[in-house]
């Protein structure tokens, strides 16, 4: 059947269609060109990043400021006088009097997990059931321990099941700087927790969300005589509690790190979410970095009596508990 439309109408329709077809083809070419360029750029970037992926090009490592240690030797002569006057005292509580103790401020100088006064004695032989406050567990060596401090349980060198009585809420475990829900089971009023190792345990209704607490670095006020810090026992948790509670109440704390070579004075004006102390220089009040803090505990058993020793270890630059250095508080 012939198309009866007038010729001019057929031409008009063709003319109206042709530009559309032409534009469509032209647009398709543009799209293919854009896709091609994009793929080329992507391949080029991927090629440039290949060396980084295989380790040929390393990203610059984050630089950690090393604290500047400025030891003073003023205390040395004074320390000798105080030690001479307190020969019968036991500053570190290791069972040895200062007069015969080579390390009067260090309860465990060789870091073997046994108090210096108990060296050479068999403290724990085989499995020993421990009942400490509201906690029950079984230890097999003298390095294990647990202490309750500022709302948390700090577990040292122990892996296995622990029984906690009279604790409500869900148990969470802080390990490697991250809170996780613990593996646990409740029977009556006792919560049994599978402890994975050295960690921190907290009972609460939801995942803990701790934050840093920092106050202005201003000169500290203290009531005790500065010399009193020299006869304070090594790293008791009462000192650490004093530091934390002072910061909680908006007060800075001046501390001393005592070493064999001298004394380092610092100002503490905060702590981070893990409990590490934020320090400043006492004179300039400039930033002095963080003092790493680890709360620890250890079971002592002499065959008759079970006791639990608790303390804290620290590390600040080249000064640390591992070296026998000691933190005391003004």
Domain boundaries, given as residue ranges, for the chain: 1-57
Over 60: is that where the pLDDT of 16 sits? no
Q: CB-based burial of residue 123 (10 Å sphere; 0-12 exposed, 13-18 middle, 19+ buried)?
A: middle
CA dist 184 and 170 (Å) reads 9
pLDDT the model gives residue 67: 65
168 falls in which pLDDT band (50, 70, 90)? Answer: very high
Q: For residue 289, how far is the Cα from the chain centroid?
A: 14
Q: Which 8-state DSSP code applies to residue 64?
A: P
Percent of the chain with pLDDT over 70: 64
pLDDT the model gives residue 112: 62
Higher pLDDT, 38 or 175: 175
CA dist 181 and 201 (Å) reads 10
CA dist 204 and 210 (Å) reads 13
Q: At 28, which helix (H) or strand (E)?
A: helix 7-53
Q: How many CB atoms lie within 10 A of CB 275?
A: 20
Does the pTM surpass 0.75? The reply is: no
3-state secondary structure of 312: strand
The region of weakest confidence among 104-118, 211-225, 297-311, 312-326 is 104-118
How do residues 234-273 score in pLDDT, each as one tens digit? 567 888 999 999 999 999 999 988 887 788 889 999 999 9
Unique residue bearing structure tokens 């000192």: 239
CA dist 115 and 143 (Å) reads 10
Contacts of 251 (CB under 8 A, 6+ apart): 215, 220, 221
Over 70: is that where the pLDDT of 76 sits? no
pLDDT the model gives residue 293: 96
How do residues 206-244 score in pLDDT, each as one tens digit? 999 999 999 998 877 765 555 555 555 556 788 899 999
């Amino acid at each position: 059947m012939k198309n009866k439309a007038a010729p001019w109408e057929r031409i008009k329709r063709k003319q109206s269609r042709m530009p559309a077809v032409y534009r469509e083809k032209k647009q398709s070419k543009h799209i293919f060109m854009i896709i091609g360029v994009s793929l080329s750029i992507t391949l080029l970037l991927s090629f440039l990043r290949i060396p980084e992926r295989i380790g040929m090009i390393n990203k610059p490592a984050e630089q950690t400021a090393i604290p500047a240690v400025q030891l003073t030797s003023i205390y040395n002569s004074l320390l000798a006088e105080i030690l001479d006057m307190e020969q019968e005292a036991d500053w570190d509580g290791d069972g040895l009097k200062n007069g015969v103790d080579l390390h009067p401020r260090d309860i465990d100088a060789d870091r073997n997990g046994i108090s210096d006064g108990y060296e050479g004695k068999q403290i724990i032989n085989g499995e020993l059931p421990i009942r400490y406050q509201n906690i029950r567990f079984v230890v097999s060596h003298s390095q294990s321990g647990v202490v309750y401090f500022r709302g948390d349980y700090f577990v040292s060198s122990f892996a296995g099941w622990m029984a906690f009585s009279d604790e409500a809420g869900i148990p969470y475990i802080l390990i490697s700087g991250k809170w996780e829900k613990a593996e646990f089971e409740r029977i009556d009023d006792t919560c049994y927790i599978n402890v994975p190792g050295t960690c921190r345990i907290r009972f609460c209704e939801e995942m803990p969300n701790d934050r840093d607490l920092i106050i202005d670095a201003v000169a500290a006020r203290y009531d005790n005589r500065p010399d009193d810090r020299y006869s304070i026992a090594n790293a008791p948790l009462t000192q650490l509690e004093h530091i934390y509670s002072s910061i909680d109440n908006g007060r800075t704390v001046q501390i001393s790190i005592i070493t064999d070579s001298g004394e380092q004075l610092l100002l503490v004006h905060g702590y981070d979410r893990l409990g590490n102390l934020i320090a400043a220089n006492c004179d300039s009040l400039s930033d002095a970095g963080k003092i790493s803090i680890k709360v620890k505990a250890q079971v002592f058993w002499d065959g008759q009596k079970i006791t639990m020793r608790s303390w804290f270890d620290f590390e600040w630059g080249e000064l640390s508990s591992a070296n026998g250095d000691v933190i005391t508080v003004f």
